[in-house]
A and B are shown apart, each in its own frame.
Chain A
Amino acid sequence: MSEELTAQTIRITGFGGDALEAYLSVPDDGAAPRGSVVVIHHMPGYDSSSKEIVRKFAANGYAALMPNLYFREAPGASPDDAAATARANGGVPDERLVGDVAGASDYLRALPGSTGKVGVIGYCSGGRQSFLAACSLQLDAAVDCYGACIVNAPPEGMPLKVKPIVELAPQLSCPLLGLFGADDKYPAPEETAELSAVLDGLGKPHEFHTYEGAGHAFFSVDRPAYRPEAATDGWRRIFDFYARYLAS
């Protein structure tokens, strides 16, 4: 694989017909048949490290697109200022997230070379949103990286607008890969085990891996939470998973 790619900022149509900023990276492969991935950024926003993830997918043969989920509140703002504004406004409503991922997946399916197969991946708050999108849209593979509040309600006392969404599990439209840290408290291993049991009961294909010695955000290369062994193995599993479900 050459790992040659093109990356650019584009506009897509998201929830409610809104024009959204999005970061697109596509392999320089002459539009050979390839799968696609919608990347859902973490709560700190549409930042440089998230764009690096988008490029990593393109370097590995996928067209990847990440909508700026905070674009409406903070067009043109730096990622940290945008994230602060979105937080102060109460975060991203679930309905809006689903509409934005739908717009991103439609854009990817229309690209030259698309196999029509689209996966989704999200980190941190995006992990929950990846599950939400996969239960709300027709997708082909979903990856949840340490998303909390899927099964459990937020801790008592938190005026959180996010609610558990495990009741959506019967509508899960595709296989789910879950990557978690054994030391994470949100989601704790007990919560992810409960989600696994629910999916088992529904006959929904899924693979969950919980890494010892890793906590929340172990994929974040620029944070103290980074755990190279877990992250390296996690990436291997992500690409293996997408190869199975997003190829031709």
Chain B
Amino acid sequence: MCTYNTENIAITGSGKGANGWFSLSDATVYFDHPVHAMAEHTLNIDFRNPAGGPSARVAVELTAESARALAAAIEAALASVPAALVS
């Protein structure tokens, strides 16, 4: 289906898109049809900067299993360094 369901969050950081690096201000996360991945549904993340126009976007499309592994890896990476570094 087209799930439409979208999580929007504000983020701080940078991403590298088609035109090089740019500052990120938003991320949208949703489980829906991918554009490129060969799966019926994927967990999609758009790292964006709407002020830079629609093309200021870094996109990933991950299988559900991959997305969960990524989320766990992010948590593990953050947990593996001194708390003072990530506070």
Residues on A lying within 8 angstroms of B by beta carbon are 42-44, 47, 73-74, 77-78, 80-85, 87-88, 91, 124-125, 148, 154, 157-162, 184-187, 215-217, 223-225
Q: Which 8 A-B pairs have the closest CB atoms?
A: A186-B1, A77-B54, A74-B54, A81-B54, A85-B54, A43-B2, A158-B5, A80-B35
**Nearest Cβ distance between residue A49 and chain B, in whole angstroms?**
10
Contact indicator B30/A82 (Cβ below 8 Å): no
Q: A88–B5 Cα gap in the complex (Å)?
A: 10
Q: A215–B41 Cα gap in the complex (Å)?
A: 12
- 8 A Cβ contacts from B59-82 to A: 59
Query: A interface, by DSSP: helix, strand, loop or mixed?
Result: loop
Residues on B lying within 8 angstroms of A by beta carbon are 1-6, 8, 26, 28, 30, 32-33, 35, 38-40, 46, 48, 50, 53-55, 57, 59
**Nearest Cβ distance between residue A128 and chain B, in whole angstroms?**
9
**Nearest Cβ distance between residue A52 and chain B, in whole angstroms?**
15
Q: A124–B1 Cα gap in the complex (Å)?
A: 7
Please name all residues of chain A whose beta carbon is closer than 8 Å to the beta carbon of B38 when the two chains form the complex: 223-224
Decide: A125 near B2, CB < 8 A? Known: A84-B57, A87-B30: yes
Decide: A224 near B54, CB < 8 A? Known: A84-B28, A88-B6, A159-B5: no
Contact of A88 among B2, B26, B53, B55 (CB under 8 A): B26
